[in-house]
């Protein structure tokens, strides 16, 4: 491709709203352009890179038995009403009506359509197992798109779906995807780890997320370097330090003026935060039949801990949680900043499982300016539910080995879910086993976001001058520069002949044939970030050949003109070998 013909242009500066490196560089290098919030056009360079990513994905998924299909992006709402997700998902689901006033939606995922296909196609155990996949557009009306392609509303995903006769079959397909995903990300040049995750709106019994560790990530992860335990903070458990058993002391009301936070309270009374009880007030939206009801939730954790809203929502089956207003808090008999479950009415009280083992805690008196000393679970109050609702934090003890865990940030680039029979039973996906008994098809769901993957590769592989693409996903492998000043027609002729030879050899070449200065050409070469560069110039030809440079190295050398094509072929092979030789971290959660 001649750069003078390419449908894009480089930018000297990135738009001010581009905050992360990948967003800035993909814009400046002419890979993407924004149409609206979270909606992007992919220009030719990005499309070529994504074609390569898709080819890698197809190879790895088909190697474990995948068959490619394409399912519609527009779904009738009736399918989602059968699975009940029409009622469970809030505004992120893009709903509309067709001209006949039928409820429709834009797909954010395809489990319902897969289930509809399964109940039409699968009749016997002889048709199982099966694995189907697609690479398809999806839409999620995310309220906070950010960071370019990392968090968008319209996106392309590889989603695959395993269909099995039993749970053992699902386990095998789950493990196969687990390994295939590491193969995919390794071949794309992206280091990832796998962590246990929340099943969320997908449902099922188990989920793992594949995380690219980066400070720009929105996900918080708990990692144990001693034993390899890893989990998304949404679901991470930890060993809770429990105090020695104490005899309950008499309840005592004390004045605590201007102590509305745990920090102020602990400082005022001269006690550690672990000797206090923290109250969190939420309003839960809980699906009930085809409607939803709001429930006031009074959650209690020890003062040295935080409430994990994902754990809390999953525990009670809440569609969403929001903070309660002061009016709602006072309506149940509590006082904001001075609340406790003692004497509450009309509230769902949930306490963390550390609370019954933590004695004589300071808690609110449900009266402005006062707290209660020596509250004890069981004597002074009880709860509707006692469960783990605490969020793991940096330094907390690993649930497996007890070592201190570390908190890291990450971007989710892939996920795998054991759906089990969730959709099969709701949507009538049954088969006949060898004994003629009707049984539900056991399903798994597995996704990779392609645009997000491209952005994370850019985030991982760049320097202050621009992108540095891994050979496996680079839009072109070679940037050919022609520097032809006045009276250097021979140099231009040499560049044209070399370009023809490179094309004949099947080497993907981006030929900078523009009449720009050497500085502009070299800056654009670094910005676009192709792995290899050849420069045809009067100076290089007088020195005996062409100037060769790898994008990831500073060194330049002169390559004889007659050896240029073979040298580039050798460098391409070496770059692929480097990718294949990379080992991924072993400290990761196993399926």
- Give per-residue pLDDT as tens, 577-590: 999 887 654 434 56
pTM across the whole model: 0.90
With contact defined as beta carbons under 8 Å apart, do 156 and 137 qualify? Answer: yes
Query: What pLDDT was estimated at residue 138?
Result: 96
Of 98-102, 150-154, 333-337, 503-507, the least confident: 333-337
Of 286-295, 494-503, 559-568, the least confident: 286-295
- Give per-residue pLDDT as tens, 415-466: 999 999 999 999 999 999 999 999 999 999 999 999 999 999 999 999 999 9
| Overall average pLDDT of the 245-265 stretch | 93
Check whether domain 16-217+407-459 has CATH 3.40.1360.10, yes or no:
no
Angstrom distances, CA of residue 322 to CA of 192, 234, 280, 286, 347: 33, 16, 11, 12, 15
- Give per-residue pLDDT as tens, 107-127: 999 999 999 999 999 999 999
| Overall average pLDDT of the 530-558 stretch | 94
- Give per-residue pLDDT as tens, 547-568: 999 999 999 999 999 999 999 9
Burial of 538 (0-12, 13-18, 19+ CB in 10 A): middle
- Give per-residue pLDDT as tens, 397-421: 999 999 999 999 999 999 999 999 9
- Give per-residue pLDDT as tens, 122-150: 999 999 999 999 999 999 999 889 999 99
Whether 40 has a pLDDT exceeding 80, the answer reads: yes
With contact defined as beta carbons under 8 Å apart, do 544 and 538 qualify? Answer: no
Backbone angles phi, psi at 314, to 5 degrees: -65, -35
**Domain chopping of the chain, boundaries:** 16-217+407-459, 252-387, 476-580
**Integer Cα distance of 411 and 282 in angstroms:** 28
115: left (phi over 0), alpha (psi -120 to 50) or beta: alpha
CATH of range 476-580; options 3.40.50.800, 3.90.230.10, 3.40.50.2300, 2.170.130.10: 3.40.50.800
β-pairing verdict for 532-537 and 478-483: parallel
Whether 56 has a pLDDT exceeding 50, the answer reads: yes
Query: What pLDDT was estimated at residue 198?
Result: 79
Check whether domain 252-387 has CATH 3.90.960.10, yes or no:
yes
């Amino acid at each position: 491709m001649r750069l003078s013909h390419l449908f894009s242009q480089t930018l000297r500066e990135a738009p001010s709203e581009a905050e992360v490196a990948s967003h800035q560089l993909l814009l400046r290098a002419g890979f993407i352009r924004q149409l609206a919030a979270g909606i992007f056009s992919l220009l030719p360079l990005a499309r070529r890179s994504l074609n390569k990513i898709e080819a890698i994905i197809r190879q790895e998924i088909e190697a474990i038995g995948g068959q490619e299909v394409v399912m519609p992006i527009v779904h009738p709402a009736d399918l989602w009403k059968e699975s009940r997700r029409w009622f469970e998902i809030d505004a992120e689901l893009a709903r509309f009506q067709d001209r006949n006033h039928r409820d429709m939606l834009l797909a954010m995922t395809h489990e319902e359509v897969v289930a509809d296909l399964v109940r039409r196609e699968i009749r016997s155990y002889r048709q199982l197992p099966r694995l189907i996949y697609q690479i398809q557009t999806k839409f999620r009306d995310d309220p906070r798109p950010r960071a370019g392609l990392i968090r968008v509303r319209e996106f392309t995903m590889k989603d695959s779906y395993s269909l099995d006769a039993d749970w053992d079959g699902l386990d095998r397909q789950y493990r196969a995807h687990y390994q295939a995903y590491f193969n995919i990300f390794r071949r794309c040049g992206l280091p990832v780890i796998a962590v246990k995750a929340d099943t969320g709106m997908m449902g099922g019994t188990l989920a793992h997320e594949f995380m690219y560790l980066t400070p720009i990530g929105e996900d918080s992860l708990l990692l144990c370097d001693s034993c390899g335990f890893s989990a998304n903070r949404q679901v991470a458990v930890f060993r809770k330090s429990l105090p020695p058993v104490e005899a309950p002391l008499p309840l005592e009301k004390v004045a605590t003026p201007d102590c509305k936070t745990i920090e102020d309270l602990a400082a005022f009374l001269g006690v550690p935060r672990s000797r206090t009880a923290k109250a969190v007030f939420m309003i839960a939206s809980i699906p009930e039949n085809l409607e939803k009801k709001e429930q006031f939730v009074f959650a209690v954790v020890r003062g040295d801990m935080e409430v994990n809203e994902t754990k809390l929502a999953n525990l009670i089956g809440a569609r969403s949680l929001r903070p309660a207003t002061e009016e709602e808090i006072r309506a149940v008999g509590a006082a904001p900043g001075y609340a406790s479950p003692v004497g509450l009415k009309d509230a769902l009280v949930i306490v963390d499982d550390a609370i019954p083992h933590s004695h004589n805690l300071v808690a609110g008196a449900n009266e402005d300016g006062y707290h209660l000393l020596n509250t004890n679970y069981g004597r002074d109050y009880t709860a509707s539910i006692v469960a783990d609702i605490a969020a793991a934090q940096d330094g907390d003890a690993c649930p497996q080995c007890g070592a201190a865990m570390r908190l890291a940030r990450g971007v989710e680039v892939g996920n795998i879910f054991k759906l089990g029979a969730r959709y099969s039973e709701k949507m009538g996906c049954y088969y006949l086993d060898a004994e003629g008994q009707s049984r539900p098809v056991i399903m798994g769901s597995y996704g990779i976001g392609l645009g997000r993957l491209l952005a994370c590769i850019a985030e991982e592989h760049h320097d202050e001058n621009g992108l540095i693409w891994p050979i496996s996903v680079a839009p072109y492998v070679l940037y050919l520069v022609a520097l032809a000043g006045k009276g250097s027609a021979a140099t231009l002729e040499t560049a044209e002949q070399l370009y023809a030879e490179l094309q004949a050899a099947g080497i993907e070449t981006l030929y900078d044939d523009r009449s720009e200065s050497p500085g502009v050409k070299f800056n654009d070469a670094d910005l676009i970030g192709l792995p290899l560069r050849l420069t045809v110039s009067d100076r290089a030809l007088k020195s005996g050949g062409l100037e060769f440079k790898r994008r990831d190295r500073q060194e330049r050398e002169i390559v004889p003109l007659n050896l240029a094509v073979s040298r580039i072929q050798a460098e391409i092979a070496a770059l692929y070998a480097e990718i294949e030789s990379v080992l991924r971290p072993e400290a990761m959660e196993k399926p």
